[in-house]
Amino acid sequence: MSDVEVGAVDEIPVGEGRTFAVDGGQVAVFRLRDGSLRAIDAVCPHRGGPLADGLADDRVVVCPLHGHTFDMGTGAETGGADMSVRRYPVSAVDGVICITTA
Protein backbone atom coordinates (compact mmCIF):
# COMPACT_ATOMS: atom_id res chain seq x y z
CA MET A 1 0.00 0.00 0.00
CA SER A 2 1.14 3.52 -0.70
CA ASP A 3 -0.16 7.01 -0.13
CA VAL A 4 -0.59 9.30 -3.13
CA GLU A 5 -0.83 13.06 -2.62
CA VAL A 6 -3.42 14.43 -5.06
CA GLY A 7 -4.03 18.05 -4.13
CA ALA A 8 -5.02 20.52 -1.47
CA VAL A 9 -8.12 20.04 0.66
CA ASP A 10 -9.02 23.67 -0.09
CA GLU A 11 -9.45 22.76 -3.80
CA ILE A 12 -12.72 21.04 -2.87
CA PRO A 13 -15.58 23.23 -1.62
CA VAL A 14 -17.42 21.83 1.40
CA GLY A 15 -20.25 19.55 0.25
CA GLU A 16 -18.72 18.88 -3.19
CA GLY A 17 -16.42 16.43 -4.93
CA ARG A 18 -13.50 16.64 -7.34
CA THR A 19 -11.83 14.06 -9.54
CA PHE A 20 -8.11 13.33 -9.27
CA ALA A 21 -5.84 11.06 -11.35
CA VAL A 22 -4.41 8.27 -9.19
CA ASP A 23 -2.24 5.42 -10.47
CA GLY A 24 -3.66 5.55 -14.00
CA GLY A 25 -7.28 5.78 -12.84
CA GLN A 26 -9.69 8.40 -11.58
CA VAL A 27 -10.75 8.86 -7.96
CA ALA A 28 -13.54 11.15 -6.76
CA VAL A 29 -12.78 12.86 -3.45
CA PHE A 30 -15.63 14.44 -1.50
CA ARG A 31 -15.28 17.02 1.26
CA LEU A 32 -18.21 16.50 3.57
CA ARG A 33 -19.95 19.20 5.55
CA ASP A 34 -18.23 18.07 8.74
CA GLY A 35 -14.84 18.54 7.04
CA SER A 36 -14.10 14.83 6.63
CA LEU A 37 -13.11 13.31 3.29
CA ARG A 38 -14.41 10.29 1.34
CA ALA A 39 -12.86 8.79 -1.80
CA ILE A 40 -14.42 6.38 -4.33
CA ASP A 41 -13.98 5.47 -7.99
CA ALA A 42 -14.81 8.55 -10.05
CA VAL A 43 -16.69 6.69 -12.80
CA CYS A 44 -20.12 5.11 -12.32
CA PRO A 45 -20.04 1.45 -13.42
CA HIS A 46 -23.51 1.78 -15.02
CA ARG A 47 -22.72 4.11 -17.93
CA GLY A 48 -19.59 6.01 -16.96
CA GLY A 49 -21.21 8.94 -15.16
CA PRO A 50 -18.87 11.41 -13.39
CA LEU A 51 -19.56 10.68 -9.72
CA ALA A 52 -17.65 13.75 -8.47
CA ASP A 53 -20.33 15.85 -10.19
CA GLY A 54 -23.16 14.06 -8.39
CA LEU A 55 -25.18 15.32 -5.46
CA ALA A 56 -23.64 14.16 -2.19
CA ASP A 57 -24.57 14.26 1.46
CA ASP A 58 -22.61 12.87 4.40
CA ARG A 59 -23.27 9.27 3.37
CA VAL A 60 -24.09 8.84 -0.33
CA VAL A 61 -23.47 10.29 -3.78
CA VAL A 62 -26.01 10.18 -6.61
CA CYS A 63 -24.71 9.65 -10.15
CA PRO A 64 -25.73 12.68 -12.22
CA LEU A 65 -26.55 10.61 -15.32
CA HIS A 66 -29.02 7.94 -14.21
CA GLY A 67 -29.52 8.41 -10.46
CA HIS A 68 -27.70 5.38 -9.09
CA THR A 69 -26.80 6.04 -5.46
CA PHE A 70 -23.54 4.84 -3.91
CA ASP A 71 -22.66 4.63 -0.23
CA MET A 72 -19.33 6.48 0.11
CA GLY A 73 -18.37 4.43 3.15
CA THR A 74 -18.74 1.01 1.51
CA GLY A 75 -18.94 1.68 -2.24
CA ALA A 76 -22.20 -0.31 -2.50
CA GLU A 77 -25.06 0.86 -4.71
CA THR A 78 -27.93 1.52 -2.28
CA GLY A 79 -30.89 1.12 -4.62
CA GLY A 80 -30.59 -2.63 -5.09
CA ALA A 81 -28.61 -2.66 -8.36
CA ASP A 82 -25.87 -5.28 -8.52
CA MET A 83 -22.89 -2.93 -8.84
CA SER A 84 -20.48 -1.04 -6.65
CA VAL A 85 -17.50 1.30 -6.77
CA ARG A 86 -14.18 0.95 -5.00
CA ARG A 87 -13.73 2.94 -1.80
CA TYR A 88 -10.29 4.33 -0.95
CA PRO A 89 -8.83 5.26 2.42
CA VAL A 90 -8.29 9.03 2.34
CA SER A 91 -6.87 11.55 4.79
CA ALA A 92 -5.64 15.11 4.99
CA VAL A 93 -2.06 15.69 6.08
CA ASP A 94 -1.11 19.35 6.55
CA GLY A 95 -3.91 20.37 4.19
CA VAL A 96 -2.91 17.89 1.47
CA ILE A 97 -5.23 15.05 0.37
CA CYS A 98 -3.60 11.62 0.61
CA ILE A 99 -5.24 8.57 -0.95
CA THR A 100 -4.07 5.10 0.01
CA THR A 101 -3.82 2.66 -2.90
CA ALA A 102 -3.15 -1.07 -2.93
Domain parsing of the chain, residue ranges:
12-88
Question: What is the reported pLDDT for 26?
Answer: 97
CA gap 97, 65 in Å, rounded: 27
Distance of CA 67 to the CA centre of its chain: 16
Mean predicted confidence (pLDDT) in 23-28: 94
Domain 12-88: which CATH class? Answer: mainly beta
- Cα angle 72, 70, 80; round to 5: 140
pTM score over 0.75: yes
